[in-house]
Amino acid sequence: MAMSTAPVHLTSDVHLGAIPPENERAFLAWLEAAGAEASTVVLNGDLFDYWFEYRTAIPQGYTRALGVLAAVVDAGVTVHLMGGNHDWWGGRFLEEEIGLLFHRAPVDLDLSGRRVHLAHGDGLGPGDRRYKALRSVLRSRPFRWAYRWLHPDVGSRVANRASSTEARKSKAERLGGPTEGQIQRSRVLERWARETLEARPELDLVVLGHTHIPTLQEPMAGRFYLNCGDWVLHRTFAVLDEGEPPLLLSWQPDGRHAPFGS
C-alpha cells in the first residue's frame, strides 16, 4: 500500500465530561473534519475526564464522541489514543469495539516523515513526587482489581469528586491565564523535551500534553517540541504535513481554524 501524503492531526486534553457542551460540540466538529482530511489522528491523553473499563459496563456520557471516533476509524483513518492521567485505564472496548490504537506508555511513532516521541506528560521530569507516588498505586494491578469491584455508579462518583478539571478551569478564567502550577509544570516539560531531543538525535519531534498550555518550540534547527494545549480553554490542535514545520492552530466558533495566538 502506498504511503499516504495526507496530514496528521494531533490534539490533547479534551476532558470530555467536564467541559461545557459548546466545547464538546466544537471538539466533535474538529474530529469529524480531521477524520475527513487526515491520514492519522493522535489524541494525546485525557480525551475523557474519567474512563475506567469494567468487564460489561462503560462510563456514561460519551456516546456521541465514541460514535464519531468509530466512524473516523471505519473511514480508514488511524487513530492513536495515549492514556492520560484521567483515562489511562482504557482497554478492550476502546481497542476492539471502537478500533483505537491505545497506548499506556510513551511511544515512538513515524508521522508525516518524522520520528515522533509521544507521551502525555504526567510524571515526566523532576518534581511532582506526590503525584508520582499516587500514580504508581492507581495504576497497579491490585488497585485496578479492587476498583473494578466497585459499582460503576460509585466508581464514577469517586473519580468525579477527585477530578480538578472544573476547578482549574474556573481558576484559570479568574486569573485570565494558566495557573502558577500549570506554568511551572510546563517549564519542567519544556526542559524534559529539550533534553530528550539532545539525548536522542533520531527524534524530530517530541509531543506532550498534560499542562493545558499550547506550546510550539524549535530548540534545534528542524527539530521541535509541541504541546497541543487543550479543549477546556483553548480548543487547540496541531497539524503535521510532510516537509513542512508543525502548525499549532485554534478551532474557531465558525468551524474554521487559525494560527494559535493570532
Instruction: List, as one string, the DSSP characters of 65-128.
Output: HHHHHHHHHHTT-EEEEE--TTTTB--HIIIIII--EEESS-EEEEETTEEEEE---TT-SS--
| CA atoms within 13 Å, Cβ hemisphere of 42 | 28
Whether pLDDT at 52 is above 60: yes
Cα dihedral 164, 11, 258, 179 sign = positive
Give 82-100 pLDDT, tens digit per residue: 999 988 888 889 999 999 9
The answer for residues whose C-beta is within 8 angstroms of residue 77's C-beta and 6 or more apart is 35, 38, 39, 40, 41
| DSSP single-letter state for residue 82 | E
User: Of the segments 4-8, 16-20, 164-168, 207-211, which one has the largest average pLDDT value?
Assistant: 207-211
All three cell numbers of 59, joined, read 462510563
Summarize the confidence of residues 105-132 as an average pLDDT. 90
The class (CATH top level) of 8-259 is alpha beta
Q: What is the pLDDT of residue 2?
A: 36
Amino acid 1: pLDDT: 30
Residue 171 has pLDDT above 80, yes or no: no
Helix (H) or strand (E) holding 142: helix 141-148
4 or 155: which leads in pLDDT: 155
pLDDT band, very low/low/confident/very high, at 175 (cuts 50, 70, 90)? low
Count of positions (residues) in the chain: 262
